[in-house]
Structure 1
Amino acid sequence: MATVGTRDLKQEPLAVVCSALETGEAVEVTTHGHPTGVALVPAVARPQRWVRGEDMARITPMSADATRRRREDLADVEQAPHIGVGGLCRVAPEGTAVTGAR
C-alpha cells in the first residue's frame, strides 16, 4: 500500500487522489512516518483491459435494421455544426454564434 504524509496530502490533495484513482491502489495517510489509521481507497475499480469470454458471450449482435438506424443517427450528428469544447458541445443553428456558458 502506498503512503502519503499529512503534509503532502494538505499541500497536494488532488495529486494524491489522482494517484489513487490511476493506480487503483489505496493510499495510507501517515503522520511523521507513522500510520494514522486513515486510508484513501478508490471506490471504483480500475478499468479492465480485457473482457471476459463469458461476458462477451452474453452480448447479442444488433439487428441489420438497428445497425442501419445507428449509422444514420451518427451521420446526422457528424453533419451538425458543433460549438463548444470536449463534452460540453452544443448544436447551433446554421449562421448563428453561441456564446456564454451552457
Structure 2
Amino acid sequence: MPYLLLALAIAAEVAATVSLKLSNGFSKLAPSIVVVAGYAVSFVALAKVLKMGLPIGVVYAVWSAIGVAAVALIGVLFLHEPVNLVMISGLVLVVGGVVLIEVGATR
C-alpha cells in the first residue's frame, strides 16, 4: 500500500509540474487548476506514505528522482524540449543515486 500511494504522489507531482509549464504563468485556467490540485494530491499522498513508516530519505529520493526523470522525458517527447548526452548522463546519475540510497537503506 505505501508504494501504491508513492506512485500516486509521483504521478500527481509529474502532472502538476507539466501543467505548470502549460499554464503559461498561471494565465490558463485548466492547467492552473491541475497544478494546484496535483501538488495538493501529491503532498497529501506523500505525507500518508511517510506516516506508514517508510524512511523519509528513501521516499523523497524515489519521489523526486522518478519525478525528475518523468518530467524530463515528457518534456522531450511531448513538449519538444532539447536533450543531449550530458543531460541524459545527469538523469542516469540521479536514478543511479536513488538506487544506491534504496540499496543502502535495506542493509
Larger RCO of the pair (alpha carbons < 8 Å, separation 6+) = 2
Determine which structure has the larger helix proportion and give its number: 2
- Mark yes or no: TM-score above 0.5: no
TM-score (norm 1): 0.25
TM-score (norm 2): 0.24
Structure 1 or 2, whichever has the larger Rg, is 1
